Structures are given as C-alpha cells and as structure tokens.
Amino acid sequence: EEALEWWYYTGHLQDEEGRWYGFEHVFFLMEYGGQPAVMAHHALTDDSGETFEYNVKYGALETSLPETGFNFSLQGLTLQGGGGKDTLSGKAGPYALNLSLEDPNFPVVHHGNGYQAYPFGGYTYYYSRPRMTVSGTLMVGEEQRNVEGLAWFDHQWGDLTQATNQGWDWFAIQLED
C-alpha cells in the first residue's frame, strides 16, 4: 500500500442525437488520521446544454481492495474493474452516468518502465490507457440517453507527498490518430 493512489478517467461522449458531453470520474485512496480514506470526484459537462455539474464525496474505505483490479463505492459513486474492462457510475445535479469502458491494448507505462523517483523526494508508479472505448447511459432528469465515446484512464500511486507539496500542472490531449 502506498501513501496516495488514484484511478482517474476523463472522456468525451456523444448521444444518439449528436449531443456532446465530457466527464471526469476519479477515486483517490489515501491515509487520513492513520486510517485508509477515499475521496471521489464526478463531473459532467453538457456541451449543448452549456451546463457543468460536479459531485465530490469523502469517506472511510469501508471494504478491502481486491487482490487484482479495484472496486469502490462511496455515497452513490462507484468504480469497478481492472485489466482494461471497467465500469463506473455517478450522479451530479440532474445527470446520472452508467458507463462501461474497455481497452483491449496493453497500458502505456510512463517513464519507460512505469516508475519514477523524484529528485526532490518520493516516487511514483504510473500507467495510462489513453483510448478506452465507452458505452452506456446518461440520465438527464427522467430522460435516458444512450452514449458512446472515448476516455483516458490514469492509474498512479506511490510516495507523492513531496510531489503534492511541490504541485504540478497536468493535462491530456486525445488526438484522432
């Protein structure tokens, strides 16, 4: 177990009528007061509706993690999976997502081998799945919309205390090719 670990999804979705949405769904596993704790973020941007909604939850880790993969549930936000086949659900404002994500390819390991020691202290293990296919449903109030799209997944863990103290800028670009 590491001091900080996260499973981070960002993606673009389109419904059957051509409307576009962006989403973020993240679970952080950390230590708080000497106990394992979880923080979850869920956000949705409705491009055509010009709306942004988000939901942030905090709580104790109530179940142990499986030996392989991951399985989280925190106050209505969920995340399960591993090996490139994941599911997530979340609600923010009038929007509720239920998505299946899949990547048949091997993950991309960062820094050549998935490990980096920081010169200012600490280390990280890090890999991504930059082109996960996504399908599922988006509820907008009582209306269900089928959605499809692409997502980027990052999984990072390690001794990131010094890195979080230093701060960093992070962005992702997903090009067609």
Using CA atoms, how far apart are residues 146 and 135, in angstroms rounded to an integer?
8
pLDDT confidence of 170, banded at 50, 70, 90? confident
Nearest to 61 by CA among 26, 25, 30: 30
CB count in 10 Å sphere of residue 17: 8
DSSP 6-20: EEEEEEEEEETTS-E
User: Could you tell me the pLDDT band of residue 41, with boundaries at 50, 70 and 90?
Assistant: very high
Could you tell me which residues come within 8 angstroms of residue 58 by beta carbon, excluding any fewer than 6 positions away?
37, 38, 39
Please, what is the average pLDDT of the chain?
Answer: 92
CA-CA distance, 27 to 58, in Å (whole number)?
10
Please state the rounded mean pLDDT for residues 17-22: 97
Question: Which H/E stretch holds residue 42?
Answer: strand 35-46
Give the C-alpha separation, 123 to 163, whole Å. 8
Residues 6+ apart with CB under 8 A from 169: none
CA–CA separation, 150 vs 96, rounded Å?
18
Summarised one tens digit per residue, pLDDT across range 102-112 is: 998 999 999 89
pLDDT at 44: 98
Under the banding of pLDDT at 50, 70 and 90, the label for residue 68 is confident
For the entire predicted model, the pTM comes to 0.91
What's the rounded mean pLDDT across residues 155-173?
82
Would the pLDDT of 50 be above 70? yes
pLDDT attached to residue 1: 56
CA within 13 Å, CB half, 112: 2
